[in-house]
Structure 1
Amino acid sequence: MNKEKLNEANRLNKLIEEHEQALNCFEFDTNYYARDEYPNLPIVLESTNPTLIIEYDDPFEGGREQQRIPMVLSDFLINIIKDSIKGNLEKLKTEFQNL
């Protein structure tokens, strides 16, 4: 393996890790969070119900404001985001294996 392929493999590996971390925002992985120390987590900790939040500058108070997106729209957008992350992750893994 030459230096260029090694650099490309490192780049792809970093992207794969970033995509896996992003996916953990939407799908709970008990092994990731328990670090294999507590494989039988309580049911409360085994599920997530993510909600998207928009954060923006508050022009009147000078701070940041948060607005929750309605659950119906949030669920729809979350599914689109998850599908996109999973698709990109598969492409990256395939590209990494083909090196």
Structure 2
Amino acid sequence: YITQEGNKLETSKSRVPTTVTNAVSWRSEGIKYKKNEVFIDVIESVNLLVSATGSVLLSEVVGTIKLKVFLSGMPELRLGLNDRVLFELTGRECHRVWG
């Protein structure tokens, strides 16, 4: 689902320095963009096998979500998906899956 509402990351006032935790070693400090933007491409393909009599023998939908993210600072971007859908996550070490 897509909404026009935003989510604000809840942060505590006391933080452990990143040099101690090395929590975001994959992202340089001080990244700043003129415009904060996120581009989402959803690519789906439908595979269908139908018999000569017209009955469906096999059907599947395969989808891919590709993101191109230009966000300043150390953002946390959350993408909500239907939990009944199975998916495999591939990509960089900065991806986390909430279940």
TM exceeds 0.5?
Answer: no
Q: Which has the higher strand share?
A: 2
The TM-score with structure 1 as length reference comes to: 0.20
- Higher Cα Rg, which structure: 2
